Amino acid sequence: MMSFYSLVTMGGTRVPKRRRPDFSTLGVPHWYESDPPSPPLMDGTEESSPIPTYYNRGISGTLHARSAGEKPWLGVVIYSHARPESVMPMYHNAAKVLGEVRLKVARKMKIRSIDVWVIINTDSVLDLFSLPHLAMKATVWNRAMGDPRRLKENAQAVRALMNETGTTTESGFHEWQGKFPKGTFVFPFAFPAFPADFQIKHFDDTKKRNLSRVPLPPSHTITMVTGFSGSIKYTVGVNIDYDKVGEPDEEFDMPMQYLPLSKRVVQEPTPFPYLPTREDWPLRREVIGGWQLTPFGGRGRLGEEMVEMEGILGVQLPAVVTAGDVVQFSLLLWSKNELTLEALGQPGAVEVAFLSSDMFAANVMHPRTSSRKDRYLGRLGYGRVWRTDDGRPDDEGPVPEIKMVQLPDPPAPGSVKHPQLGSHTVKGAQSKRMREVWIADTVNEDEQVASTVQKGSEPGSSLSPDDGNALSEHNVAFLPSGEDAESNVESTAADSEATTTRAPSPTPSTEEIEVDFEEIEEPDHFLRMDGEIKIPACTHPSYRFPNMGREYVVHLIFSHPQYMHISPNATGILAEFPVWYVLDRFHYLPPSATTPRSRQTWEQLNALPRSGAEVPIDNKSFVAPFVEGVVTTEKRPTAKFTRYFAF
């Protein structure tokens, strides 16, 4: 069967084409056989501005009521760099989780221990039962710590208890045997700083180099109906364990938001690289002269004619952006058809958009061609383009409109277009079909009669005189014109009636026939365009983590009412390039605000503004000393529903 490409290009050898843009590899880690080093900073980035040591706001939450009218009795307050409008604590690089558990006991309870957990884990349809990437635990109270109303007095014993080499018996300290007393209690806690990176393993265990390290990802959730769903969670949880058999233990979780920070390095602008001929254009994404050049192209119908356009989309490297930046890019367009560039190369026909791209599954750590389809895109902003010869338009100028082009009149019905004409540069092999037949001027009657008698004696020979006449009449259409043609026709007709055989086969006589058509080469047409797009504020920085990732792309779609793209899944020719989005939150603060200080006291933290439902405290509340959490390999006990299904 003949493909559509062969029908359009008349067959022939395929030549390399610049069709769809390449997939992105920004942020893909390097893999090692063992002991992977810490990941380097992304090209074009540096360490973020100093982060203030002191926290500025508390976010509180309480355990849900189990009956109508029940007052909250268990709550937690987390102090962080949250904004006034934030609904959850917000942390950044090397953050230390700081907070307190509040307990208001109206009647004595058989509490065995109160534990606080900090968990970093991923939960998706591809890793339902994976272990947490990081778990930290702080026991703010248990029976071994003694009377919860005298924890400040027993602070030395508490420190000895939390020390691996210390014992509680040496301090003359006795375990608490009774029920947990009534009253309002505050249990402050603090955890070590988050690590800078995690070690991960490649999903393909057959690879020899399958270990790497990646930076901590931001908290992120991807949810699509009948599609991929997953989340990266940072959680603070409180567990209350009871002594009473059959009494359900209490669990309370508060989600946190983690956003890694880094700073964009300002780059000096450089001119667009010089490409003297179209043959110098890359066939795949390349870096030339400090610019990333992405080839693209497509074909379709412009009116009644099949046309083709190719281009180069360039952006200066490193393509690192942040909110408020203006990304400038350049375009080189080519086509054999001048009207194609006139239609698709006008500013109104090019849609420029800034999109978020949520990646998932194996495409995150091992991008390939399918990565362009296995992603979820979300439009965040728009840009514009203009022809370089026309100059950059005013910022307050009107939105360019799409102008129609004057198309040539369609060919008359029945007219045959020369196979070499058109907008395609790919020329197929010339046809070798029979165009004329050679017939001998004279025929030896004796040899022909003998040949006929010999053929008639062969078994199965059933050629009739009518068949010979029909073949002779059919060959008249292929005879040369003029007097030679008339003599040949008469000779052939006479021989057919006399010998009742067909004319000699013309196949050997046409093998060497070569028909040369005059090749009509259409000139190449080029167009240079420039563009820009302003980066809006985004919720998440770019990252790559096992099974989940986020990056941002700039999309350009060339479309026109008179142009019909050949692909049914697209409205026009697509071009795109990826960018790496970073956050640098505290760049505006003076150096004095970011000077390292000691940890805030409980009195300083309690004076900070707070938001959310909380358990009230007063001057009679019992405040325990800070308890330091530690990294642990224990598994947090939970009675919550575990996700056993994919969708």
Tokens describing residue 373: 């389809």
> How far is the C-alpha of 215 from the C-alpha of 40, rounded, in Å?
9
Which residues, including other chains, have CB under 8 Å from residue 27's CB and lie 6 or more apart? 42, 542, 543, 544, 549, 551, 580
Query: In this structure, how many other beta carbons lie within 10 angstroms of the beta carbon of residue 316?
Result: 19
Residue 191, H or E segment:
strand 183-193
Question: Across-strand partners of 7?
Answer: none
CA angle, residues 163, 165, 168, in degrees to nearest 5: 70
- Tell me if 376 sits within 8 A of 357, measured CB to CB: yes
What is the predicted pLDDT for the residue at 642? 54
- The pLDDT score that the predictor gives to residue 160 is 62
- Give the integer Cα–Cα distance in Å for 142 and 158: 10
**pTM for the structure as a whole:** 0.77
Q: Tokens in use for 3? A: 């493909």
The span from the CA of 238 to the CA of 220, in Å, is: 22
d(CA 484, CA 441): 8
CB atoms closer than 10 angstroms to residue 306: 17
CA distance 231 to 228: 10
Q: What pLDDT shows up at residue 54?
A: 92
Where does 388-474 show beta strands of DSSP type E?
A: none
- Domain locations in the chain? 4-25+265-407+524-581, 48-119+133-195+239-262+597-631, 445-510
DSSP 88: S
Rg (CA), the chain: 40
Note the pLDDT of residue 248: 72
Question: DSSP assignment of 96-130, as one string?
Answer: EEEEEEEEEESS-B-EEEEEEEEEEEEEETTBTTP
The 10 Å CB-count burial string (b at 16+, else e) for 194-217 is bbebbebebbeeeeeebbbbbbbb
Q: Kindly tell me the sign of the dihedral angle through the C-alpha atoms of 432, 433, 436, 442.
A: positive
Torsion of CA 570, 576, 580, 581, to 10 degrees: -60
Dihedral sign from CA coordinates of 202, 205, 208, 211: positive
What pLDDT, on the 0 to 100 scale, is given for residue 646?
47
Residue 516: predicted pLDDT: 47
What top-level class would CATH report for the domain 4-25+265-407+524-581?
mainly beta
CB burial readout 164-175, b (16+ within 10 A) else e: eeeebeebebee
**Which of these, 80, 584, 602, lies nearest to 322 by C-alpha position?**
584
The stretches in the chain having pLDDT less than 50 are: 1-2, 5, 12-14, 164-172, 418-435, 438, 442-443, 445, 447-502, 505-518, 644-647
Contact 524, 490 (CB under 8 A): no
DSSP 8-state class, residue 592: G
Q: Which long-range contacts (CB under 8 A, 24 or more apart) does 167-172 make?
A: 168/144
Peptide bond just before 318 cis, omega within 30 deg: yes
